Copies of this chain bind each other. A is one copy, B any other.
């Protein structure tokens, strides 16, 4: 019932329409996650850990705060994640001598060496998606704009409560 595949504007259709968009996003993220899980198996990394290593490979040394800004994650997620990377021998955590509140993360030799193995990951993933550069750029643009608007919407929502 209420099978209107085109542009309807009643409440039921809106439910269905929105369901499609956010659900599609949700599914794509999880499908991507499965692909990366497979591609990262040899490296012994999960996808969020891989993102953290990417950031560290680029920046050499990062505070937990800065890393959290780059990955859009808070210490509640990063602290245990970084502890696992430290246990795996990939990173070192040390309190900053300039500001004892801050914890600086840097790669170990093993962590830096892992970058060589990681270079084949994006090519493998890109090949499996079958998307060309144009499609990826287009998708990336849409997602970036969407995230921007959602962030300001969330910010505005929070502001409304003040």
Contact = CB atoms under 8 A, between A and B. Distances in A.
Interface of A is mostly: helix
A43 interface: no
B18 A143 contact: no
Task: Give this chain's copy count.
Answer: 2
Contact of A22 (B15, B22, B36): B36
Contacts of A72: 27, 30
A34 interface: yes
A108 interface: no
Interface stretch (A79-87, A92-100, A116-124): A116-124
A139 B140 CA distance: 10
A24 interface: yes
A153 B127 CA distance: 9
Nearest to A146: B28
Interface string A2-18: 10000100011011011
Q: Which 4 A-B pairs have the closest CB atoms?
A: A18-B122, A31-B150, A128-B153, A11-B119
